[in-house]
Amino acid sequence: MKKLLILSILYLYSMILFGQGIRDSIYVIPTVDVNAKYIFDVEEAGMVKTHVDSAVMCQKIQSSLSTLLSENTPVFIKTKGKGALATASFRGTAASHTQVRWNGLNINSPMTGMVDFSLIPVFFVDAVSLEHGGSSIASQSGGLGGVVNLDNEPTWDDPFEIQYVQFVGDFHTYQEYGSLSFGTKNFQSKTRLYHNKSKNDYQFLNRQNYDYIDPNTGEFVHPVDTYKNGQYLMYGLMQEFYWRVNENNVISACYWGQNADRGIPKVISNEGPEDTNINNQIDNVSRGVIQWKHYGKSSTLEFCSGGSKKDLDYTLQNQVNGEGLICAINSKSTSYQFQNSLNYTKEFLNSLHFTGSIDYNRSWVDTHESVKMTGYKKSREQISLYASLSKSITERLNMKVQLRNEWYDRDYTKPIWFAGFDYKISDNYGLILQGNVSKNYHTPTLNDLYWQPGGNVDLQPEDGNTAELGLKGSIGNKYHSLNWSVTGYYSDIDNWIIWIPSFKGYWEPRNVKNVISKGVESQILWNRDWGNWKMKVKANYSYTRSINMEKSDVWGDESYKKQLVYIPVHSANVWFRLDYRWLNFTYQYNYFSERFTTTSNKLNERHWLYPYHMNELDCGVRFYQKNDRSAQVRFSVMNLFDEVYHSILFSPMPRRNYGVTLIFNI
């Protein structure tokens, strides 16, 4: 680690430096100023949206999207640790209920319906926004929890820029990121690269095993073990082209390819030999999207077409004497997606806004397990028609209605709809009351329907009805600004899909759950300037009750009216940053209440996850700046107070650890 750090510092003096951060487009598309007052926009009446602060994204530039969302939004991320599978629970819903879009292209797996957020580097994204609950209908169906939007944007004002980021951390972790941008006012090209690797071999106190009995106290002593087979290697490329044809037309093309080779560590309760149950997973994905935007005097026409291919190879091996490593599971899956959308918006003179779109999507999955000779090969076709009307009823009241109709393999689903309003209570305090009611559907994934063994072709779509009511406000002057919001929601979801053990000896998905998801989301963003001193504070708090309301006839089932597994009732995070000239200091705090791993929610049982508080410190020094050139070094302490915690049962997380980040801008 020391050698690499010295080489990195020496490398600084061999480079020509130029400043570049995460920037927004300044052409045609209005930028989002996170410091401004909430906008009373008729087109977003009743919609609950969150934009991740660009300063936070710069701070987390070397992190994965799982870390960014977990530490700075209401989304709960369930993960086994750095580099491991990370899935989202948005408003207490399942991982497949969070839809993720990259430049208008849905990147959820057609097999599982989920996204692994650990595979998305923040460095590859310029803007992150969330559409909560029913607001997600504007983008697509299926987001019973919400939608996460990831966007890339051109920087028309910069003819040339290079950025290089290097992170060196504990557990033999090395990360490198680089980007090159060049062009004119009418054409821009940007290339991004990254390469991450780690042995991920941290030590932990194994409370599931006992080493010996202390003769003085008579108590069991837990051994210190090493986290094994958690290593990973990831690398990727993103290429972007933007062409401003004329004042009214912009064409863009983006490609994203990456590979991840990861070991899957055993749970600490495993008592087998080390050369058994060796898990490994390789993810190889390629995505591409082309967009054309035409801006008229009072209308916009947009066409988007894209596709993706993902190969997933999973193996489980055991050591057999005289034979070596033998595969017990050897699964290879390939999925394809082809997506197209045509969107038209029109603003009329009487403050009436119309949006209409048509989407055609098709996906294919081919999966095969060569040991047990199982698998399936299926495809799915989706057609979606969408229309919305927004209108300013008075100077203080905006209303919006949305309707979406869909066909899956030519089978028509029930209409999806949204009706919302914004009411401006006060101009001085920026007080806005907003609310909405909506209906949404989530169709079963291809694995739910066809996985072998266990798929259930008789599954019904999950049916959600949601109501939301919130209040937000803004105050400020040239020295400070304060934005805040509070939203309460209530969702009633029928036909909840859950995989449960069957008498056949394997797990099967069934529509057995009715779930009530209700709660409160709140957010505060405060900015304060004192000349050379600048301070920013952002805080989130979520109260989430995701309750099973389905009575069971099975003897001993105590899940009725209990919290769903792995969903914390309380969660909070605080991000604090203080800048003084060439110095900056950042503090990150996260809290999650207890999470249950059994449906009975009994605290006296062994299998539950206790609450934890996570703290992180980051100190940065900008030690070179001339004209538009800059360079900085950051020192980070993760898990500041050496907390012992788990995000998933029997999967220990790292204790206190350190890292150094070097950022060179050319």
Spell out the residues 6+ positions from residue 169 whose beta carbon is closer than 8 angstroms to its own: 175, 198, 636, 657, 658, 659, 660
Give per-10-residue mean pLDDT for the chain (666 aa): 36 32 33 51 92 90 93 90 90 94 96 95 96 94 95 87 94 95 94 96 76 74 82 96 95 97 81 79 97 95 97 91 86 96 92 95 95 94 96 94 94 92 92 96 95 92 95 90 96 92 81 90 93 93 91 64 89 95 93 84 68 93 80 94 84 91 91
What does the block give as tokens for 396? 């203080």
How far apart CA 468 and CA 481 sit, in angstroms, is 26
pTM of the model: 0.90
Asked if 407 contacts 401 with a C-beta cutoff of 8 angstroms, the reply is: no
Judge whether 579 and 603 are in contact, CB under 8 Å: no
Element containing residue 14 per DSSP (H, E)? none
Rounded Cα–Cα distance for residues 635 and 633 (Å): 7
pLDDT, residue 123, reads 96
Output the pLDDT for position 414.
87
pLDDT digits 0-9 by tens, 171-184 = 999 999 999 999 99
From the list 421, 376, 384, the residue with the least C-alpha distance to 401 is 421
CA of 406: how far to CAs of 82, 106, 313, 414, in Å?
38, 16, 32, 8
Structure tokens at 91: 């408003």
- The counts of H helices and E strands in the chain are 4, 38
- The pLDDT score that the predictor gives to residue 216 is 80
CATH 2.40.170.20 fits 2-235+260-276+393-665, yes or no: yes
Instruction: Encode burial over 34-59: b for 16+ CB neighbours within 10 A, e otherwise.
Output: beebbebebebbbbbbbebbbbbbeb
| Residue-level pLDDT at 526 | 94
Residue 212: per-residue pLDDT: 66
**268: phi > 0 → left, psi -120 to 50 → alpha, else beta; which?**
alpha
DSSP codes, 462-513:
EEEEEEEEEEEEEEE-SSEEEEEEEEEEEEEEEEEEEEEE-TTSSEEEEEEE
Residue from 420, 382, 376, 383 nearest 401 by CA: 420
In terms of Cβ atoms closer than 10 Å to its own Cβ (0-12, 13-18, 19+), residue 207 is middle
| Side chain identity, residue 611 | P
Which of 45, 35, 62, 44 lies closest to 663 in space, CA to CA?
62
Taking only the tens place, the pLDDT of each residue in 353-367 is 999 999 999 999 999
CA–chain centroid gap for 438, Å, is 23
Handedness of CA 112, 114, 118, 121 (dihedral sign): positive
Q: Report d(CA 430, CA 34) in Å as an integer.
A: 15
